[in-house]
Amino acid sequence: MSLVNRLLGLLVVAAIGTTAHASQLGTYYVGVDDADTVTYGTYSGEYNTNEGRLTLLFHHGNHFHGIGTHSYTGPASSPVASDTSSNNRLPESYTGLNPISLQPGSGDFAGTYRSGLSSSLPQDLEYGNLNIQNVHALSGVDDVIYNSSGGRWNTDFDLAHIHMVLLNATPGLNIAFGNTPVSAVAPGGDFHLGDGDEMFSVTPTFWVDDTANVGDVFTAEFMLADLSGTYGNSGRFFVDFQAVPEPAACTFLASGGLLAFVRRRRKVATK
């Protein structure tokens, strides 16, 4: 076996090893922000406009990233409240990653490009597991992240009726649940994730017709809403997808992207 092939093999094993733990635990969670003030940055000490609101949480090793949280803009001397934040896209903009892949489907999804298929592209390894869970599912399973940020995200929200509202979407982008390509929600509609006292686990499938051009980007804009009225709505956030022509592993290995992904994951693991 050549040195190059041996190195690629080791990198594949390393990437699988680093993502296996995150995959078992999940990628996205819903919690309620319990912090009363902003603790860092330009607006440190200001009232936390996200307090008491539902929040989409991205599992990032030993801490969460709040996605599309309520925030402030403008100068520190006269901050303006906003219903979104600079970190409001998936994949997160700072990573420079391409959109989550929509790959050619089969079976009931034949004739489509769909999410949720196996891929070794870094954007899919990092962000492509679209399962959404109650953050309390982490209690006793991964207490490090569950209690991270001083327990900011582990407050009870039993009374919540949690819905994911589709505010806008690129024409042609559909959302399905289960294993059939039935569009479940249109812009302006919403779908029920679960209640705060339920260990819900929901995985939407995003899909487009295979008449879409390879490389086309599709975007969905969401917010989380509590229909019980007990908790505030989350900020707005966006999820980007891109139609790709073939199983991603070969393209990714050829690009050398795996090495960069493993380096990034190792850096996160050592924080």
Strands of 54-117, DSSP E: 54-59, 64-67, 71-73, 80-82, 89-90, 100-104, 112-114
Dist. CA 76–CA 196, nearest whole Å: 35
Strand partners, 257: none
Dist. CA 30–CA 21, nearest whole Å: 19
Dist. CA 212–CA 24, nearest whole Å: 32
One digit per residue, the tens of pLDDT, for the chain of length 271 reads 443 343 334 333 333 333 333 335 789 999 999 999 998 899 999 999 999 999 999 999 999 999 999 999 999 999 999 999 999 999 999 999 999 999 999 999 999 999 999 999 999 999 999 999 999 999 999 999 999 999 999 999 999 999 999 999 999 999 998 778 888 899 999 999 999 999 999 999 999 999 999 999 999 999 999 999 999 999 999 999 999 987 644 454 435 445 544 445 444 443 4
If DSSP codes are grouped into helix, strand and coil, which group holds residue 245?
coil
For the chain, the structural domain boundaries read 3-269
Neighbours of 258 (CB within 10 A): 21
Phi, psi of 155 (to 5 degrees): -70, 150
What does pTM read for this prediction? 0.83
